[in-house]
Structure 1
Amino acid sequence: MARTARRSRTGTVAVAGLAVALMASVAACGADAGDDREPEHRAFALEGRTLTVDSDDSALDLVAADVDEVEVTRWFEGRVVVGGDPRVTWEMKDDRLKLRLKCSGIVADCSARHRIEVPRGVAVVVEDGDGSVSAKGFTRSLKIRTADGPVRVSDSSGPLEMHSDDGSVHALGVESRSVRASTQDGSVKLELGAVPDLVDSRSDDGSITIGLPREASYRVTTGSDDGSVAVSVPRDSGSTHVVNAHTEDGSVTVRNAG
């Protein structure tokens, strides 16, 4: 009996050691969707004028383009040593593009990225569970929310809303009249190319920097519980151009763009 027990313990230790070695090997390599040399492509018809992108775990690159349908390119790399085969799925229903990544097991490592080309003149709502989001070229309403990852928007002019639970939020070269940007953990940086009617920015833990056109004066409200505040734009308490910038921990800078 003692000999059998020793063999059992030896086998358990060996399996555990192998699992640790496999986990270390997978972690060292790190799956990267950029390594996918044969990305998949698919087009989805859009019935209305608003697209909702519902993703659980993927980096997303959205761009307004001269297309008739929603054109999606998908890069995926994944490996599961102990568990089911990894896979990604996509489907469109009621103008909601649903992107899902299945990657689970004792030793699992997966990475996905989607480039989404959207017909011009379409409003977009993005709901991303885990991953970075970038968007470019939109003239209609753009609303982006991600639980974990940075948000980047450029060359857009429609009403803009951006939020990240854990990541920076940046909008560069946008001409949106209404901009709302918030993050629980990260910086906020806004560079506006047109005089806005409203800028509302908040961060629980991070700095806020806002660049505004010189052509106007602004009604500015700022605050930082722990950090410096610097406002160098022309101020007017009666201005219709309202700018709010508040952070609990970090500096606040409101200056002229350029």
Structure 2
Amino acid sequence: MARTTRSVPARAALVAAVTGVLVAGVSACGASADDDKHPDHRSFALHGRTLTVDSDDAGLEIVAAKGTRAGTVQVTRWFKGKVVVGGTPRVSWSFQDDRLKLRMHCSGFIADCSAKYRIEVPQGVGVSVDEGSGSVQAHGFADTLGIRTSNGSVHVTDSTGPLDLHSDNGSVRAEVSAPRVRAETSNGSVDLTLGRVPDRVDARSDNGAVTVALPRATYHVTAQSDNGGVSVSVPRDDKSPHTVSADSSNGKVTVRTAN
């Protein structure tokens, strides 16, 4: 009987074809945490007045919830993952010294994983978020809130405490009544709407438009763009105690009265 052999190029082509089919199959139905119908729940005891969230790769929703028991952080986790060639995908959470550490373990030749969390924090607690890659949403905070993400958008609503928001690659948005807001992104737009007259607003984008909408009042405004138009339509007075700084290296800058 004749023996069938394949040349090296033929074998390489076969491997490439099989790989292409596998990749196409994974891409066609990518993992989504929204498909997890049975999320996990955990409670962690908070001992101080500040929670630190340390996450490497997940979408986060952080809420200052009225119904959350004092001294307790409630966390809900959704996760879906698949690895064609590699280890079993998984997620982990731990809590120590008021730091919530969230990690995803998803590696292999073809790996596709997705995780998201809802973190409910007692009122009266400040929060500091350090996110590696993922969007962050937060609402309901009356205390200091700081959010930093390397790759993802930031969106804060219904908050009255001081805000410090930063994204290396993503938009930053806020609809709040905070006394002080600092919002910055390296690549994306900044869009702030203030529901009360703030003491200070600092908004900056290296590459994107910057828009600040303010209640009717007189402001000390500094606005500039290296490559884009500048429009300031709020009343201005350099002696005003309400200071607004808005600038972009590459994008339009707008400071206007909120509708």
Q: Taking structure 1 as the reference length, what is the TM-score of the superposition?
A: 0.95
1:148 aligns with 2:151: yes
CA distance in 1, matches of 2:57, 2:246: 30
Map of 1:235 onto structure 2 = 236
Moved more, 154-163 or 10-19: 10-19
Map of 2:19 onto structure 1 = 19
Q: Which amino acid aligns with 1:26?
A: V
CA distance in 2, matches of 1:152, 1:238: 31
- In structure 1, the residue corresponding to 2:110 is in which secondary structure? strand
CA distance in 1, matches of 2:167, 2:113: 22
1:50 aligns with 2:17: no
User: Which one of the candidate residues 73, 78, 85 is aligned to 2:76?
Assistant: 73
CA distance in 1, matches of 2:28, 2:115: 18
Q: Which amino acid aligns with 1:159?
A: P
Map of 1:221 onto structure 2 = 222
CA distance in 2, matches of 1:204, 1:14: 46
CA distance in 2, matches of 1:137, 1:99: 22
Map of 1:87 onto structure 2 = 90
Task: Report how many aligned residue pairs link the two structures.
Answer: 254
1:64 aligns with 2:67: no
Moved more, 3-12 or 149-158: 3-12
- In structure 2, the residue corresponding to 1:125 is in which secondary structure? strand
CA distance in 1, matches of 2:8, 2:113: 33
Map of 2:162 onto structure 1 = 159
CA distance in 1, matches of 2:8, 2:245: 66
CA distance in 2, matches of 1:219, 1:213: 14
User: Which one of the candidate residues 104, 108, 119 is aligned to 2:107?
Assistant: 104
Deviations 1:74-125 (A, max 9, x none): 0011100000000000010110000000110111100000000001010000
CA distance in 2, matches of 1:176, 1:155: 9
Structure 1 unaligned blocks of 5 or more: none
Shift of 1:15: 3.1
For the aligned residue pairs, the C-alpha RMSD in angstroms reads: 1.3
The aligned runs of 1:182-197 (5 Å cut-off) are 182-197=184-199
Map of 1:36 onto structure 2 = 36
Q: Which amino acid aligns with 1:32?
A: S
The aligned runs of 1:169-188 (5 Å cut-off) are 169-172=172-175, 174-188=176-190
Q: Which amino acid aligns with 1:195?
A: V
Map of 1:136 onto structure 2 = 139
CA distance in 2, matches of 1:10, 1:168: 47
Map of 1:117 onto structure 2 = 120
Shift of 1:62: 0.5
- In structure 2, the residue corresponding to 1:27 is in which secondary structure? helix
CA distance in 2, matches of 1:8, 1:251: 56
CA distance in 1, matches of 2:252, 2:8: 60
Structure 2 unaligned blocks of 5 or more: none
1:245 aligns with 2:246: yes
CA distance in 2, matches of 1:12, 1:117: 51
1:208 aligns with 2:210: yes
Shift of 1:19: 1.9
CA distance in 1, matches of 2:173, 2:190: 6
Shift of 1:13: 3.6
- In structure 2, the residue corresponding to 1:82 is in which secondary structure? coil
Shift of 1:4: 8.6
Q: Which amino acid aligns with 1:224?
A: S
